[in-house]
Structure 1
Amino acid sequence: MTEHETEDDTEHDIEREITADVALCLPDGRLNPDAVGWSRAPLHDTSGIGRGVRGLGRNKRWEYWAVVTPDHVVALTTSALDYAALHQVWVWDRASGEEVDAVAIAPLTGSATLPGRLGGGPVRSRTRSVAVAVDERPGGTRLRARTARVELDVTVARPAGRDLLAVVVPWSRRRFQYTVKDVGLPVAGTLRVDGVDVPVPVGSWAVLDHGRGRWPYRAAWQWGVGVGSGVTGSGTRHEVAVQLGGTWTRQGPTTENGVFVDGRLHKVHDELDWTFDRGAYTRWWRVRGERLDLTFVPAHDRVSRTQLGVLASSTHQCFGAWSGWVMTDDGARLDVECLDGWAEDVAQRW
């Protein structure tokens, strides 16, 4: 097996937790040093991204939602990349393996509406072939989508007091990214594929990836998510979700790694070691750090490639299950088995 490891010998200091509202950008458009850190709530105002000529061509804004049911996975994307907008609705039938995919790429960004702050306004993808609408409602978020074959209308609940992970990753004063990962939220509603209603039963969950930043032309990352439960040594069972990142944060002072136990975020400050096989993505993956050791067994590899002039991407998003152990802030170890989720490997030219 040819293994690929993303490993960094640099020790990360304990990252700064942000607890008050802050602007991501200074008035001149550069990174605000006070914005660098992580938070449990969406405290950053990112309205400076995409405004004016600062970083023209490098501004990237997106909203990605995944809805996971026992039978299907649905992914919605609204994105604005400065010189183009990319919108997508994708559905995977776990039983048959069928993928239903609709992608729309439009010049410039007029087909996308993305607020300057998470929850600060509606999200819209407006094209003939793909329509996405995201709207905040009391206690949650309504997701709607329409393509020729798919209709979705679900509400994602946000239980009171539940944490998310928001982090600013700086590469320089001119290149930086703000990301929010909200993992394992309860969801209910309706999904229709080819005119057939598909259940979204109790136990279904959703994940948000909210991104605003200025990226270098070439980028690569790994991203892993798992949702399920874990057991302490005393036999107590807890709700557990994991948020795992790799590669793209290695040169900065912050990571996007965390463990959620009963809705409370336990921030993982160190970089993680990812081991997987780019020649055979459906073999096992392993992700290790000081506070977790997880093995991922894929069941399906979603392959996506785009080649449009300066815009190119390659994505392998594998769906399957995570098992191993995680550790909380107070040193408690939880054994986890069959956390439902995914692991992905992405390379971008954008």
Structure 2
Amino acid sequence: MPTHEREITAPVDLCLPDGRLNPGAVGWSRRPLHRANLRGWGRAKRWEYWGVVTPDHIVGVVASSLDYAGVHGVYVLDRATGEEIVKDVVVPLARGAVFPDRCGEGRVSARGPGLRIDIDQRAGGTSLQAAAPGVRLDVEVPLPEGHESLGVVVPWSPRRFQYTVKDLGRPVRGTLTVGGARHVLDEATSFAVLDHGRGRWPYSITWNWAAGCAPGRAIQLGGRWTDGTGSTENALFTGGRMHKIGDELTWVYDRRDWTRPWRMTGPGVEVVFHPFHERVSRTELGVVGSETHQCFGRFSGSVRTDEGDRVDLDGLVGWAEEARQRW
């Protein structure tokens, strides 16, 4: 069903000159239109997360600045064996990290002991390179003509807000080298997902995120962190077109057994996620810390389009997660 939220159709600054949220920036867009002109230091968060799914592997690459620290990482899952390679680094004050203020434009760079991430964003697509012990990723992520993404501003208050872009089902080509074995990524069987984030966050927050893709279809769902704000990050994608879902959804899953099916439901939304692998990530830095349970798996169920047509989600592959942050 059509959303009640306001669609942004022209470029806009995220912040007013004094650093507070620009009321005119609140809404959603079909392509990146916001300039994240964050000012000052203390609660600002910036990150780029790319997830890459192939028939054999799932890869996660994150470069982030939390102001007081840069938290960067590379993750690789062998889908056949369940073997994981994890390289995470924490860089004080996010020294050397580079983040542009617009999604899809400019260079992202992060460095840490044994880790290198370089992301070059251009009008026609993105180059993504990451290297860690035993892993090297070197791929191109083209931007198809007419491809739509979901951009959303979530307003907690004039001084606490987040701009996110979720870009799903992007084709990806290139190579992934794991332990000396070189794997060629084929656009027909591999895809990439972007989570671009810029904002000023509360100290403590919990979120849910689910993303799944298959040729010509993708589903993006979020929860908890947007509750009560009037904004959601829920959308269905068919043939590159986005159908915005404006309702907050109900998430049901078992925190005692994360690999049991997850259910996300709401008006026109009946989604079941079936995990085949759980990744657990914990970081403790004194008064700050995080715990994330990210499950990889397959989707079933269906979602209705703006026109009321039901789209089957069987065959979509991706993840669902719960993240708890003190930052």
> Same-fold call, TM > 0.5?
yes
| Aligned ranges 1:155-304 → 2 under 5 Å | 155-201=140-186, 202-228=188-214, 239-304=216-281
1:75 to 40, 45, 60: 60
| Matching residue's letter, 1:23 | D
Q: Displacement of 1:310 after TM fit?
A: 2.2
Q: Displacement of 1:104 after TM fit?
A: 0.9
Aligned to 1:34, the other structure's residue is in SS state helix
Aligned equivalents of 2:61 and 2:3: distance in 1? 35
Name the Cα RMSD after superposition: 1.2
Counterpart in the other structure of 1:105 = 90
| Matching residue's letter, 1:125 | A
Q: Displacement of 1:292 after TM fit?
A: 1.2
Aligned equivalents of 1:138 and 1:289: distance in 2? 35
Contact 1:301 1:318 in 2 (8 A): yes
Aligned residues: 325
Aligned to 2:322, the other structure's residue is in SS state strand
| Aligned ranges 1:302-317 → 2 under 5 Å | 302-317=279-294
**2:326 pairs with 1:340:** no
Aligned equivalents of 2:235 and 2:113: distance in 1? 38
**131-140 or 248-257, which moves further after superposition?**
131-140
Contact 2:168 2:218 in 1 (8 A): yes
Contact 2:120 2:128 in 1 (8 A): yes
Aligned to 1:338, the other structure's residue is in SS state coil
Q: Displacement of 1:138 after TM fit?
A: 5.1
Contact 1:80 1:109 in 2 (8 A): yes
**2:15 pairs with 1:30:** no
TM-score, reference length from structure 2: 0.97
Counterpart in the other structure of 2:124 = 139
Contact 1:13 1:253 in 2 (8 A): no
Q: Displacement of 1:198 after TM fit?
A: 1.8
Counterpart in the other structure of 2:77 = 92
Contact 1:156 1:187 in 2 (8 A): yes
| Matching residue's letter, 1:249 | T
Aligned equivalents of 2:304 and 2:104: distance in 1? 31
Q: Displacement of 1:348 after TM fit?
A: 0.5
| Matching residue's letter, 1:228 | A
**2:36 pairs with 1:59:** no
Aligned equivalents of 1:288 and 1:188: distance in 2? 34
Counterpart in the other structure of 1:7 = none
Give the direction of change, closer, same or farther, for the CA distance of 1:271–1:138 in structure 2 (3 Å limit): closer
| Matching residue's letter, 1:251 | G
Aligned equivalents of 1:297 and 1:130: distance in 2? 32
**220-229 or 16-25, which moves further after superposition?**
220-229
Counterpart in the other structure of 1:118 = 103
Aligned equivalents of 2:218 and 2:3: distance in 1? 24
TM-score, reference length from structure 1: 0.91
Contact 1:277 1:283 in 2 (8 A): yes
| Matching residue's letter, 1:90 | Y
Counterpart in the other structure of 1:234 = none
Q: Displacement of 1:279 after TM fit?
A: 0.4
Q: Deviation per CA, 1:158-192, whole angstroms, max 9, x where unpaired?
A: 10111000000000000000000000100000010
Q: Displacement of 1:195 after TM fit?
A: 1.4
Aligned equivalents of 1:126 and 1:80: distance in 2? 12
Percent of matched pairs sharing the same residue: 55
Contact 2:48 2:64 in 1 (8 A): yes
Q: Displacement of 1:136 after TM fit?
A: 2.1
Aligned equivalents of 1:310 and 1:20: distance in 2? 40
Counterpart in the other structure of 1:130 = 115
Aligned equivalents of 1:144 and 1:63: distance in 2? 13
| Matching residue's letter, 1:328 | T
1:148 to 130, 133, 140: 133
Q: Deviation per CA, 1:104-150, whole angstroms, max 9, x where unpaired?
A: 10110223110011123100012231100000245210000011211
Aligned equivalents of 1:90 and 1:111: distance in 2? 21
